[in-house]
Amino acid sequence: MARSKIGRLLSHLRSAPAPAPAPAGEAKGAEDETPPVDPELSSAIVQEHVAATETFRAAARWLVAVSGAIAAVLVAGLQLTALGSLAGRRLSMAVVLFLVAITSVGFILLRAAQVLAPTAQTLTELRDMDIAEVRGQAEGVPPLWRSPRRIAKRVLYGSEFKLSAAVNDWRHALESFNLQGVDEIYLLYTGKTPVRIAQQIRAGKPRISRPELEFAAQQLISFVELRDTQHRYKRLTNSLVPAGFLASMSIVFFALTAFPSPDPKVNKPLTVEVIFTSRAEDLKGSLKKCERQVRRGTAVAGTLREPEVYIRPVSAADKCSGRHVINPSIGVVIYK
């Protein structure tokens, strides 16, 4: 749609009537008037750029809302109070996994914030970007792996936006104003004349008018903002899958670490040794006479923490023999 409006703008410039010849007696070197540009058409082009930019930002806001809601549900179900029951390596692993999950969500929010943040809004900012880009090309860029600072910047901010590529994409509109880049617009805006345009003026070509210069600057600024926002939005969408996957896996493994599986069951006979407690009040029934005894047996059922143990009798009057569930209050089970 923007290109159709540009086509109308170019047709308007070509079909505008030529300026009338200067009346006799007027100075021969007077400047020619350039065909006026339709201000409504130029404003419409800028508005289209602004509307497209806001579309990307609205999509980013929606992604932030959805990602934030999902992250809130997942994090709410983690129950960090479980960390208090952990110790040693499991505690360290659970903390690391939780930090990875939160960092992944924060990384998505950072990418979205970069889309919503304002880009270059003035000619001065555009010119500074242009100078920095040209200086970087002249000095050369070292390999990414040799610069830790560039690695960190690439991780946080992604690939850099190329102003020269955006200006090149908008060159068809700049050429209609007889302009070739940000530097020429900036110099003309500050009252200076680039060498190329000065040569054309001496050859008799009309000078660009102030309204045309303002229209060209507004269109370029809005187009660069659109392309920069589009570039940032692409970085956001490219980050969603890896960051979301990393956050999900971290949450899953955190849950497995913080909430281990139930006590394994005894699925085959195991030779054990039972050391009964010295507290007679904890022993019930036939086990009252077993305090402080150490007996051998076989775990045949239950769980490894509370097995059902068959204790072999050592005499006919042995009260400790038989099948008993040995829990921590009764005694300690040692597996052989």
What is the pLDDT, as a whole number, of residue 107? 86
**Do the Cβ atoms of 184 and 196 come closer than 8 Å?**
yes
From CA 249, how far away is CA 100, in angstroms rounded? 10
Are residue 278 and residue 251 in the same domain, yes or no?
Answer: no
Answer whether residue 18 is part of any domain. no
From CA 155, how far away is CA 166, in angstroms rounded? 23
Three state DSSP letters for 182-206 = HHHHHHHHCCCCCHHHHHHHHCCCC
Residue 148 has pLDDT above 70, yes or no: no
Are residue 168 and residue 73 in the same domain, yes or no?
Answer: yes
- How many Cα atoms occupy the beta-carbon half-sphere of 228 within 13 Å? 23
Range of the domain at 156: 2-13+33-258
Q: Which helix (H) or strand (E) holds 214?
A: helix 210-258
Are residue 83 and residue 213 in the same domain, yes or no?
Answer: yes
Answer whether residue 78 is part of any domain. yes
From CA 11, how far away is CA 295, in angstroms rounded? 104
How far is CA 127 from each of CA 122, 199, 213, 309, rounded to the nearest angstrom? 9, 23, 15, 83
Q: Give the pLDDT confidence of 209-235 residue by residue, as tens digits.
A: 888 888 888 888 889 888 888 888 888
Last residue of a domain, one of 210, 235, 258: 258
**Do the Cβ atoms of 167 and 183 come closer than 8 Å?**
no
Higher local confidence (pLDDT), 69 or 334: 334
Q: CA 263, 268, 274, 279 torsion: positive or negative?
A: positive
Q: Give the pLDDT confidence of 94-105 residue by residue, as tens digits.
A: 888 888 888 888
